């Protein structure tokens, strides 16, 4: 074999060796859909729920989907702003905060219960607090040991504080000159039930779920008032989903979420954990109220 033939043979072998590597590199470069959620309940339930969501979306969309837990509500907003998360299950307040910080953010879906959502005020049965007949009755909470959930929770802080203010109750009216912040709805219920706080405000859905599961004991903690309705949770997607995953991807993602039904075993688990029958489209204009209240209370600037 001449030196020229030897060179061409070696070159051909070298090129063939490169082909698999290039294919592997191309496969590894496929974008991954990273999903997250505000940590409004205990980590065990969140990991179970969003692992199911990630698996379902991966099968429906044909892309790798990974659930990325965050430490608190603020971290969820920050992760969306920086692009670390592509799709996040936000509460109304955090969803508005995130969308204001990321131009073009897409409000993709909400549960059928989110257009008209409610908070409930709960009290320890030994506190002496009685059921409140109307909003003005919230003045009975003055000088009590009171706790909200997370500082950025729509149903566990923002709207309850708004209704308290309308009734003439300010945060410094509580015992000790300030309310507590438990961090989550589950924690609020546990703290009020234990007597660490006289009363608190929680997401109605979590309250009902806690009653059904027995975590909330009616002999120790009871509902004393239900708020008027307001819009709450939603799925918020990054503005660049179509650029990263291909034309029409955000629509495919939205339609996948909207298609979940209890007739499918996997989807039924997801819907049950979300406490809903199905997901629906979002009317962004409805969240203007949340933005207005957020600005009034100082959570949006």
Mean pLDDT to the nearest integer, 151-175: 97
pLDDT tens for 259-290 read: 999 999 999 999 999 999 999 999 999 999 99
Q: Which domains does the chain have, with CATH numbers?
A: 33-115+231-297 (3.40.190.10), 119-226 (3.40.190.10)
Under 8 Å between Cβ of 156 and 139: no
What is the token pair recorded at 20?
Answer: 């698999």
pLDDT tens for 188-226 read: 999 999 999 999 999 999 999 999 999 999 999 999 999
pLDDT tens for 117-159 read: 999 999 999 999 999 999 999 999 999 999 999 999 999 999 9
**Could you tell me which of 69, 41, 42 has the C-alpha nearest to residue 53?**
69
**C-alpha span between 27 and 30 (Å, rounded):** 6
Write the CA distances from 232 to 60, 229, 266, 277, 278, integer angstroms: 26, 9, 25, 16, 15
* Beta strand pairing call for 33-37 and 65-67: parallel
pLDDT tens for 111-124 read: 999 999 999 999 99
pLDDT tens for 218-261 read: 999 999 999 999 999 999 999 999 999 999 999 999 999 999 99
Predicted local distance difference test score (pLDDT) of residue 30: 80
Helix (H) or strand (E) holding 180: strand 180-181
Write the CA distances from 187 to 3, 17, 34, 104, 146, integer angstroms: 78, 58, 27, 34, 13
């Amino acid at each position: 074999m001449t030196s020229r033939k030897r060179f061409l043979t070696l070159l051909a072998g070298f090129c063939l060796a490169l082909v698999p590597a290039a294919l592997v590199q191309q496969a590894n470069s496929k974008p991954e859909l990273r999903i997250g959620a505000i940590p409004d309940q205990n980590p065990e339930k969140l990991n179970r729920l969003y692992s199911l969501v990630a698996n379902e979306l991966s099968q429906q969309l044909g892309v790798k989907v990974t659930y990325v837990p965050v430490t608190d509500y603020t971290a969820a907003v920050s992760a969306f702003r920086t692009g670390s998360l592509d799709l996040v299950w936000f509460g109304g307040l955090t969803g508005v905060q995130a969308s204001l910080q990321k131009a073009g953010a897409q409000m993709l879906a909400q549960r059928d219960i989110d257009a008209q959502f409610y908070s409930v005020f709960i009290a320890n049965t030994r506190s002496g607090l009685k059921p409140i007949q109307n909003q003005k009755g919230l003045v009975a909470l003055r000088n009590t040991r009171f706790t909200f959930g997370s500082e950025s929770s729509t149903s566990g802080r923002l709207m309850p504080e708004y209704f308290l203010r309308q009734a003439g109750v300010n945060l410094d009216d509580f015992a000790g000159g300030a309310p507590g912040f438990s961090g989550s709805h589950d924690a609020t219920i546990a703290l009020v039930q234990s007597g660490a706080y006289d009363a608190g405000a929680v997401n109605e859905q979590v309250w009902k779920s806690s009653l059904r599961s027995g975590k909330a004991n009616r002999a120790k903690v009871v509902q004393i008032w239900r708020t008027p309705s307001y819009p709450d949770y939603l799925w918020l997607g990054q503005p660049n989903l179509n650029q990263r995953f291909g034309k029409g991807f955000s629509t495919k993602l939205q339609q996948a979420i909207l298609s979940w039904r209890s007739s499918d075993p996997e989807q039924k688990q997801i819907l049950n954990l979300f406490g809903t029958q199905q997901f629906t489209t979002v009317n962004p204009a409805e969240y203007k109220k949340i933005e207005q209240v957020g600005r009034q209370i100082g959570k949006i600037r």
